[in-house]
Copies of this chain bind each other. A is one copy, B any other.
Amino acid sequence: MSTEKGETRRMTIAEALREAIREEMRRDDRVFCLGEDIGIEGGFGGAFTVTLGLSEEFGHERILDTPISEAGIAGAAVGAALTGMRPIADVQYADFLFCMMDQLVNQAAKMTYMSGGKVKVPLVMRAPCGATTRGAQHGQSPESFFIHVPGLKVACPSTAYDAKGLLKTAIRDDAPVLFFEHKLLYGSKGMRAEKDAVSPTSEVPTEEYTLPFGKGVVRREGKDVTIVAKLLMVYKALAAATRLEDEGVSCEVIDPRTLVPFDTEMVVDSVRKTGRLIIVDECNRTGGWAGEVAAEIQEKAFGYLEAPILRITAPDTPVPFSPVMEKFYVPDEDRITDAVREVLRWR
């Protein structure tokens, strides 16, 4: 395809991420990947195919298969990053970030500060999140833990275009970046395909580009209610907005793309217009990202709010296995639609 932006191709998120890694590894010798099952011949290319085929071009030194040692992976990434490399580490499921929490929170995030700004830790930690009938230890959305760690940046792309542009920025950033990828958005095909996946593809320019951190995007303009959502929830919010259009309700849907830094301004501007805010998030409710946004916006846009800010999140339970329960657990269009109607009752 060709637009005013130049040539583009349709791509899945998995493909876009792979291309971002490939381009950055070509551009910069210091960039390398490490993780479990990422480069084995005849293997998976990581749990969700993102690194598939890369070892052929870059060899096994730069697509480095590790033992199952999450603390070792993250610690090694910190050490390599401190001394001139730019590692992209992979954790098969975001749930396993808890096995490397000390390395991420106490070391990666703090080394720059503890050194008085003398060292840098340019590492990227890629983590697939989201519930997919794998149960309590393979379906968490732990993004909110990491927004609470000063020194870390947090990215959450929901389209292939964003995924590529943000991953390239993450790799070039001198700070450690947690890069969350939703399992149902990869659009992986073949043996690693996911049931119920949204698999969004988008037009991705052939020409190189990066996307800045801290800049959200308005996915849909509207004037009655602002909905902020990330990752898979962007699609649920858009579906709800489409449905509500028939009822004559106009929703503005914002995708922040990065959680740290966060585009507070974009949300404040929107709320000044709509007077109503709903945050949709697959993280658990208490202590989650949705609450952070609510707290920040009620402060920054106090005079403009015509209704309480509502949070539509996963409940405060672990991820249940049984598909009917999981469906209840993950926020859906119905809950979003109801919430919109509720805030509209405040006039």
Contact = CB atoms under 8 A, between A and B. Distances in A.
B137 A110 contact: yes
Nearest to A346: B302
A328 interface: no
Contacts of A289: 287
A145 B145 contact: yes
A294 interface: yes
Interface stretch (A95-103, A184-192, A202-210): A95-103
Copies in the complex: 2
Size category of the A interface is: 35 or more
Contacts of A346: 302
Contacts of A320: 113
A311 interface: yes
Contact of A150 (B110, B290, B317): B317
A148 B144 contact: yes
Interface in A294-347: 294-296, 298-300, 302, 305, 307-311, 315-318, 320, 346
A109 B295 contact: no
A165 interface: no
Interface string A77-119: 0000000000000000001101101101110011001100000
A69 interface: no
Interface string A130-167: 00000111000000110111110000000000000000
A143 to B, nearest CB: 9
A53 interface: no
Given A98-B106, A105-B98, A302-B307, A291 B286 contact: no
26 contacts: A95-B106, A96-B102, A98-B106, A101-B101, A114-B136, A114-B318, A144-B148, A144-B287, A147-B286, A148-B286, A149-B284, A150-B316, A151-B317, A287-B289, A287-B292, A294-B294, A294-B298, A294-B299, A295-B298, A295-B311, A298-B298, A299-B308, A299-B311, A302-B305, A302-B307, A302-B346
